[in-house]
Amino acid sequence: MTSSKLIDGKSIAKKVREEISSEIMKIKDSTGIVPGLAVILVGSRKDSQTYVRNKKNACEDVGIASYEVNLSEDCTEEEVINHISVFNDNSAVHGILVQLPLPRHMNEEKILNAVSIEKDVDGFHPLNIGRLAMQGRDPLFVPCTPKGCMELLRRYDIEIKGKRAVVIGRSNIVGMPTALLLQRENATVSIVHSYTKNPEEITRQADIVISAAGVANLVRGSWLKSGAVVIDVGINPVDDANNPRGYRLVGDVCFEEACNVASAITPVPGGVGPMTIAMLLSNTLSSVKRIHS
Ligand code: GUN
């Protein structure tokens, strides 16, 4: 039985955060500038509250000031946009993040369009996504989870150029930008989604598989080519009576099976998850550097 190399997102994220923290310290010492990140949370989804809390704590750890706005589920689109406008004009704020998903009555496109592209640390503004999709153009920011996946591949010296990559899932937040990033690195990219007729067959051709489907244990060992590199973005709760919380988190990839086939794989938890926040801090730092350059 072969066993894959573990791609340790937790330790890479820690290293990235240490690098960011020391750079921020230097900026503060030499210029007095304190990086600032504004986070807008609408509604009371438990998962979103947890993500926002984790982002705030991470900011504090590396010396980024965070500005949090919590709005009720039934607030208006205009209220959200007003807060965004104030942050757009506030020179202490270098990054603005609107936690998704928004309540159903809100127009996500209109709200994300209101974020200044100069402060769009999530990289969700259509101008940034458009530039990501075009050859010879560069976005000001790249979405955090896709950037985290690429950073893991880079730091583990996994070659992308000329490789076949399959991205499972086509969301605006993860699947679509991840496919664009792999293509920019000269991979040949296929996107597998819920209407794909033969997902196993297509995935089995890939040297690199990045799964962001949000379906527990979707990708079986039999879906993978021997030696494939597997990045699992899924964070899916499954019932677990042995766990005090009554559930545990698993990825999209059936880890035990994949371990026998893949050359390298990210665990869940401890793989891509910690990288998302590290990349948010990285985007905030690069925003500070650009604004004050
Ligand atoms: N919801 C799930 N992932 C993300 C993310 O990366 N950024 C924001 N703003 N919301 C999310």
* Same domain for 201 and 90: no
Q: Looking at residues 100-115, what average pLDDT do you find?
A: 98
Cα 234 to Cα 226: distance, rounded to the nearest angstrom: 21
127 in a domain, yes or no?
A: no
20 in a domain, yes or no?
A: no
* pLDDT above 70: residue 202: yes
* pLDDT above 70: residue 2: no
* Domain span including residue 250: 143-273
Among 147, 173, 178, 272, name the best residue to mutate to test ligand 1's pocket (greatest count of ligand atoms within 8 A of Cβ). 173
Q: Please, which pLDDT band fits residue 1 given cuts at 50, 70 and 90? A: low
Cα(248) to ligand 1 centroid in Å equals 21
* Same domain for 212 and 105: no
* Same domain for 163 and 85: no
CATH number at residue 233: 3.40.50.720
137 in a domain, yes or no?
A: no
Among 52, 99, 172, 281, name the best residue to mutate to test ligand 1's pocket (greatest count of ligand atoms within 8 A of Cβ). 99
Place of tokens 């209101």: 114
Q: Which of 97, 116, 135 is the last residue of a domain?
A: 116
Determine if ligand 1 sits within 6 Å of the CB of residue 120.
Answer: no
167 in a domain, yes or no?
A: yes
The pLDDT of residue 49 is: 98
* Same domain for 235 and 183: yes
pTM: 0.97
Determine if ligand 1 sits within 6 Å of the CB of residue 4.
Answer: no
Q: Tens digits of per-residue pLDDT, 132-183?
A: 999 999 999 999 999 999 999 999 999 999 999 999 999 999 999 999 999 9
Ligand 1 atom nearest to 276, measured from its CA: 6
Share of residues in the chain with pLDDT > 70 (%): 99
Catalytic residues: 55, 99, 122
* ipTM given for this complex: 0.94
CATH number at residue 83: 3.40.50.10860
Q: Which two tokens stand for residue 129?
A: 């996504």
Task: Specify whether the CB–CB gap between 270 and 8 falls below 8 A.
Answer: yes
User: What is the tally of structural domains in the chain?
Assistant: 2
Ligand 1 atom nearest to 280, measured from its CA: 6
* Same domain for 37 and 81: yes
Cα(134) to ligand 1 centroid in Å equals 23
Q: Which two tokens stand for residue 146?
A: 């896709």
Mean pLDDT of the chain: 98
* Same domain for 261 and 172: yes
* Same domain for 256 and 205: yes
152 in a domain, yes or no?
A: yes
221 in a domain, yes or no?
A: yes
In angstroms, what CA-CA distances link 94 with 28, 81, 160?
Answer: 14, 17, 32
